[in-house]
Amino acid sequence: MITAIVFIQAEVAQLSETAAQIADIDGVSEVYSVTGDLDLVAMVRVQDIDGVSATVTDGINRVDGVLSTQTQIAYRAYSKHDLEEAFSIGL
């Protein structure tokens, strides 16, 4: 499983609609509106690198209102939440 974090610049006037359309794309697990230089951040979780390409290039970048994207590939995850779930199996 590959996780990619996609930073999105979008038209502010249609931010909610753009975020909702992105959230409906296969491979996108979450979309966050954020403060700062970015408008949205999408979490992409797919099986392989080709899935990242298809989700970002053929999906997110084609949504009306998306101005630009920058994609970061996660290569290792550190999560207290995940560890707590693993140790609570069967409890």
* pLDDT surpasses 80 at 7: yes
**Quick check: 10 and 33 in contact, CB under 8 A?**
no
**CATH of residue 20:** 3.30.70.920
Banded model confidence at residue 77, pLDDT cuts 50, 70, 90 = confident
Q: What is the pLDDT of residue 51?
A: 97
* pLDDT surpasses 90 at 37: yes
Write out pLDDT tens, residues 52-71: 999 999 999 999 999 999 99
Q: What is the pLDDT of residue 87?
A: 60
Query: What total of structural domains would you count in the chain?
Result: 1
Which amino acid is residue 32, in one-letter code?
Answer: Y
Residue 73 sits in which domain range?
2-87
Instruction: Write out the two tokens for 8.
Output: 């999105």
* Pairwise CA distance, residues 30 & 81, whole Å: 17
